[in-house]
Amino acid sequence: MRDVNEIKTKRLKLRPVRMSDAATIARFCGDPGVGRNLAQTPLPYLETAAEGWVMTLKARERLGREFVFAIDLAGEGMIGCMGAHQKEGDAFEVGYWFGRPFWGRGFATEALKGFTFEARKLGQLQAGHFVDNPASGRVLEKSGFAYTGETPKLFSLARGESVPTRRMTFAPDLVRAMATRGSVMVH
């Protein structure tokens, strides 16, 4: 992943975020339906905030602790973002978002499967979703993440409060084994 500049899936291309993406980032993340499901996105989300985020990502690239990709769909351009951010030791937190017009079409699962194929080389992958966003949990499960049983509260800038968050870890072999026993629903 440290040397990966592009990831291609059947319908999508994951590539580095560019400053020219800022307006699209602001438009999608400024949608309360998107922004409220992200921990570090304020609402309203202005284009200047998106520009600052892109500048911060670019400035920190050399540290090798964050790997963030824009997700492009042919004929549409950027439809979302996905990344892995180093936490403690070799653990990386995976996060993603998609613009509302692109929900429910399998793009998140497709992109996450391609992304985790590369990102798993970084170390242990972890993720979480707010309890009132079960669709994100289904995407994570279909992509090989399993619930840890932990539900800590995480502050959401958009909501202005701490929200219960279901924690997950990347464990594709465990998810497959549990699915064959009927313990987990894998789609």
Q: For 22-71, what is each residue's pLDDT tens digit?
A: 999 999 999 999 999 999 999 999 999 999 999 999 999 999 999 999 99
For residue 82, give the CATH number of its domain: 3.40.630.30
Q: Is residue 2, in this structure, part of any structural domain at all? A: no
Residue 36 lies in a domain: yes
pTM to 2 decimal places: 0.92
Asked if residue 181 has pLDDT above 90, the reply is no
- The pLDDT value given to residue 154: 97
In total, the chain counts a number of residues equal to 187
Take residue 76 and report the two structure tokens written for it.
Answer: 């549409």
Structure tokens at 113: 């499967």
Whose structure tokens read 């990966």?
4
* Rg (alpha carbons) of the chain, rounded to whole number: 16
Residue range(s) defining the domain that contains residue 54: 7-180
Number of structural domains the chain divides into: 1
Q: From 32, 37, 31, 30, select the one nearest 132 (Cα to Cα).
A: 37
Average pLDDT over residues 122-146: 96
